[in-house]
Amino acid sequence: MSLHEISAIFVTHLHSDHLSGLPDVYASGELTRLAGGGRTKPLELWGPVGIENVGRGIELMFTDNNRFRLSGGEITKDAMNIVTHQISEGVIYDQDGVKVTAFLVNHGHVVPAFGYRVDYGGRTVVLSGDTAYSANLVEQAKGGRFSGSMCCNWKRSLGTVTLGLCSSIL
Ligand SMILES: [Zn+2]
């Protein structure tokens, strides 16, 4: 998948290690000459309260870059925009046969922190960001494929969720 094909991103929580790659996806994905065609529509972000700050912050960071790139014909005007969706538990996306359901996980004082269940074509993948043991995660993962956490130090953050438990969820 090329960067320009990424137009929807689901953020689990607002820790820096889950956000720091977003500016690159946004800015590199819109470039027509680097991203295999360039994103031509807004980048959409789904996430917890505060996700609007993330979107506005990235847009602000690239204000002058975008002015230069637009006048140089390297990006489209629509690609400069970020659309944010503040989520709560439940179905947050349902388009073209893809359904995404958000559920709360236990990331200590980081509230809210979400996991996502993605259903498509009769198949299910369940993702979580950092979490300690979470009954919601176990419940959502039943009958699906648990893909674990996207965080680089997830083994420490998972706390009491052992590999044995992850295996039993499968
Ligand atoms: Zn975290």
Task: Identify the domain boundary among 86, 116, 143.
Answer: 86
For residue 37, the model assigns a pLDDT of: 80
Interval between CA 13 and ligand 1 midpoint (Å): 7
Residue 59 is encoded by which pair of tokens?
Answer: 């847009």
* Structure confidence at residue 147 as a pLDDT band (50, 70, 90): low
Q: What residues contact 100, with CB distance under 8 A and at least 6 apart? A: 10, 46, 91, 92, 93, 94, 116, 117, 118, 119
pLDDT for position 70: 94
Do residue 97 and residue 81 come from a single domain? no
| Same-domain status, 99 and 77 | no
Contact by Cβ (8 Å): 154, 132: no
* Residue ending a domain, choose from 67, 86, 105: 86
Which member of 17, 24, 78, 94 is catalytic?
A: 17
More confident residue, 139 or 43: 43
Q: 64 with 123, same domain?
A: no
Chosen domain end from 26, 57, 86: 86
Domain enclosing residue 56, as ranges: 3-86
Distance from C-alpha of 2 to C-alpha of 128, rounded to nearest angstrom: 24
**27 alpha carbon to ligand 1 midpoint, in Å?**
24
One domain, residues 60 and 21:
yes
Q: How far is the C-alpha of 93 from the C-alpha of 111, rounded, in Å? A: 21
For this structure, is 17 an active site residue?
yes
Tell how far the Cα of 46 is from the centroid of ligand 1, in angstroms.
16
Q: Distance, CA 6 to ligand 1 centroid (Å)? A: 23
Clarify whether residues 81 and 111 are in a common domain.
Answer: no
Distance from the CA of 75 to the center of ligand 1, in angstroms?
33
- The band of 129, judged by pLDDT with boundaries at 50, 70 and 90, is confident
Whether residue 15 sits in one domain with residue 80: yes
129 and 66 in one domain? no
**Helix (H), strand (E) at residue 70:** helix 63-71
> Residues with beta carbon < 5 A to ion ligand 1?
15, 130
The verdict on 78 and 136 lying in the same domain is: no
Tally of domains within the chain? 2
